[in-house]
Structure 1
């Protein structure tokens, strides 16, 4: 004989299991929809920048790097916001010098649009620098007027087989931005060769990050440090960047390579002369 009570019990348990299963499906579907909407909102965002008007961004964290250099983190309007800065471009920052006069200077963030909700600047504050005064006096909670994007270079994956980069001092920031974008993109196979010149070891900005790139991407990123006032024990270059250093540490002239340079005016001119003498055509060169 059939046990109707047992069948009834099994049927009730099956209904409960089905209800739990469908409830789980609904929860998963809702989660997927939320993630898709979130990602689409980021993708469709035009970014937080305005190319024509200055917008203010709040300084949320100031981190000293050396005696005259600090990292400044600025919050974007929403935690899901992106800055909207194409790789290879920069922003204009507005401040006041020691006499209260308005100053506008270009800076390249070391962050990318993959860094959601904030952007960071590494700034060296020179004793007599007009914009340096503004950053030196800036405190957490204050606002920085910013406008952008600006610049002639908009990097595209595959635009070069390899980059040779020659940077001096704070000229490392656009090189760092581009290098990070290349190395963090698994679809980008571009190689990077960086020559980075400074006065002393303490002046080398982002050294830990650059050394980490060299360790994690040994076949794609090379860095050669040059110091004009090295310590007694120093394995890098000494003096100023020479033609011989460029020959040894940058890719040789070819249609599919580009040489980028960014540094003080005197250094940029000297590097242009070296590159021309070494056979790098003007279309292979770019100055930030």
Structure 2
């Protein structure tokens, strides 16, 4: 894992990272990248451009961190929080999926992703992107397009942001966390509940713990389905009591918001699922029971 440094006066030079967002964005033929003016965005929203993989590290049994080289004198150039589209030809089909980079918005030289591979689809629909990406080697090509803005983060808009993430759902949360902690003028408090099946599934724990130790406005609480002996974190599904004990903002608190991202069953249980065509939908689940409404909940 690349070393993490927190800089107060300028953007982070690099961040090691995570993620998968579900969905499908139409594929287009990849196009070679033409060298552009200094510090212009490396990507395009109009076409897929081909980039080179420069590192692929295994983080867990089913998750890899992939590092992709950006052309000289360009930057990632995205807003927080955003995702990118990645396209590949798999088993004779063009497949495109959105993934959230964990690099900072103005990262230069490279961009990093954490990719999870899932079992092969059995419904006949195009798939296999996660496994394809996890199998890429140094020097292989990767086609990317975007970025696509999701939640638009504004400095000090909220006094306190609560986050509930499961597995690779950590990725968009990390993008917002780094944006806040990298800005000495941002006083937003962040409390994260990070849920996983086992201790080995926790992604970037060393980084998260380091951030919490360095900054008083960030705290992380871990919960596991299967906790090992002497586990010091929480155990079980995220519940109303766990949300209260972790110190997330309440529905009655002013200038607060709760972000949620994880597998669809978790989303349904915590916040209610998303609506048609990726819309936010109504707030449901545990957060509805706690009094939260659409104005203070965002589902990635």
Kept in 2, the 8 Å contact 1:69–1:125? The answer is yes
Matched, 1:60 2:54: yes
Selected match of 1:229 from 226, 248, 258: 226
- The one-character-per-residue Cα deviations of 1:24-52 (angstroms, maximum 9, x if unpaired) are xxxxxxxxxxxxxxxxxx99844112112
1:244 to 235, 241, 244: 241
Quote the Cα distance in structure 2 between the aligned partners of 1:116 and 1:84.
Answer: 9
> Is the Cα–Cα contact under 8 Å of residues 41 and 77 in structure 2 kept in the other structure?
yes
2:95 corresponds in structure 1 to: 103
Distance 2:60 2:105 in 1: 26
Please state whether the residue corresponding to 2:145 is helix, strand or coil.
strand
2:298 counterpart of 1:281: no
What is the match of residue 88 of structure 1? 81
Distance 2:51 2:160 in 1: 35
- Candidates 130, 133, 143, aligned match of 1:132: 130
Partner SS state of residue 68, structure 2:
strand
- The 1-side partners of 2:189 and 2:197 are apart by 27
Tell whether the 8 Å contact from 2:79 to 2:149 is kept in structure 1 after alignment: no
TM-superposed CA distance for 1:130, in Å, is 1.4
Alpha-carbon offset, residue 114 of structure 1: 4.1
Q: Return the structure number with greater relative CO, CA threshold 8 A, min gap 6.
A: 2
- Whole-Å separation in 2 of the counterparts to 1:149 and 1:105: 12
* Contact 2:161/2:257, CA 8 A, preserved across alignment: yes
CA contact (8 A) 2:269 2:286 kept: yes
Classify 1:227/1:144 alpha carbon distance in 2 versus 1 (closer, same or farther; 3 Å).
same
Give runs of aligned pairs for residues 113-132 of structure 1, distance below 5 A: 113-128=105-120, 130-132=128-130
Equivalent residues in 2 for 1:179-194 (5 A)? 179-194=177-192
- Please say if residues 96 and 134 of structure 1, whose CA atoms lie closer than 8 Å, have aligned partners that are also in contact: no
- The corresponding residue for 1:267 is 266
Distance across 1 between alignment mates of 2:105 and 2:239: 35
Q: 1:47 aligns with which of 41, 59, 82?
A: 41
In the alignment, what sits opposite 2:66? 72
Q: Give the aligned partner of residue 197 of structure 1.
A: 195
Residues 66 and 113 in structure 2, CA contact (< 8 A), matched pair in contact too? yes
Unaligned runs of 5+ in 1: 1-41
**Alpha-carbon distance between aligned partners in 2 of 1:49 and 1:153, rounded to the nearest angstrom:** 20
8 Å Cα contact 1:96-1:133 kept in structure 2: no
Distance, in Å, in 1 between the alignment partners of 2:256 and 2:192 is 13
Name the CA shift for 1:277/1:43 in 2 (closer, same or farther; >3 Å).
farther
Cα deviation, 1:186-240, whole Å, max 9, x if unaligned, reads: 11111110000000000001111101011111x2111111100111221111111
Larger radius of gyration: 1
Change in 2 beyond 3 A, CA 1:167/1:43: farther
